[in-house]
Structure 1
Amino acid sequence: MNTLANVRAELDAIDDALHDLLMRRADVVAGLAASRVKASGPTLRPGREARILRRLIGRHSGPLPAAALVRLWREMFATSIRQQNNFSLAYHGVGDAVPKLVAEHFGMGMPSRAFTTPSQALAAVGNGDAAIAVLPFPNEADPTELEWWPALDAPRLAVVARLPFFSEGNPGPEALIVAHGMPDASDDDRSLLLVEADPELSRGAVLQGLAEAGITARLLIARRLPHVSRFLFEADGLIEPGDGRLAALNFINTRPLGAYATPIRGISA
Structure 2
Amino acid sequence: MPDSSPPAPAEAEIAALRAEIDALDDAMHDLLMRRAAVVARMAGSRAKGNTTPLRAGREAAVLRRLLARHAGPLARARIVRIWREIFMANTAIQGGFSAAVFAPGPQSGHTRLAREHFGPLTPIRVHPTPARALAAMTGGEASVAVLPAPVDGEPAEDAWWARLDAPRLQVVARLPFLAGPAADPGALVVAPVAPDPCGEDRSLLMVEAEAGAQRSRIAQALAGAGFAATSLILSRAPAATLALAEVEGFLRAEDPRLASLPWARRIILGAYAAPVPGDAP
Would you call these one fold, judging by a TM-score over 0.5?
yes
| Residue from 219, 240, 243 that aligns with 1:228 | 240
Task: Name the residue aligned to 1:203.
Answer: 215
Task: Name the residue aligned to 2:226.
Answer: 214
2:69 equivalent to 1:69: no
| Residue from 17, 25, 45 that aligns with 1:15 | 25
| Residue from 26, 50, 68 that aligns with 2:60 | 50
Q: 1:200 to 1:102 in 2, by over 3 A?
A: closer
Paired with 1:127 and 1:229, the residues of 2 have a C-alpha distance of 31
TM-score (norm 1): 0.93
Residue correspondence of structure 1 range 20-99 to structure 2 within 5 A: 20-94=30-104, 95-96=106-107, 97-99=109-111
Question: 1:162-220 deviations in whole A, cap 9, x for unaligned?
Answer: 01111355371111000113200111110111111112431111111111111111344
Question: 1:91-120 deviations in whole A, cap 9, x for unaligned?
Answer: 101225111111111111112222111011
| Residue from 16, 22, 27 that aligns with 1:6 | 16
Following superposition, the deviation at residue 141 of structure 1 comes to: 5.9
Aligned length: 269
Paired with 1:168 and 1:219, the residues of 2 have a C-alpha distance of 18
Identity, % of aligned pairs? 48
Q: Which runs of 5+ in 1 are unaligned?
A: none
SS in 1 for 2:132: helix
Q: Which runs of 5+ in 2 are unaligned?
A: 1-8
TM-score (norm 2): 0.89
Could you say what the CA RMSD is over the residues aligned between the two structures, in angstroms? 1.9
Q: 1:115 to 1:169 in 2, by over 3 A?
A: closer
Q: Is the 8 A contact 1:170 1:265 kept in 2?
A: no
Task: Name the residue aligned to 2:199.
Answer: 187
Paired with 2:265 and 2:156, the residues of 1 have a C-alpha distance of 19
Select the structure of larger CA radius of gyration: 2
Q: Which moved more, 1:29-38 or 1:17-26?
A: 29-38
SS in 2 for 1:39: coil
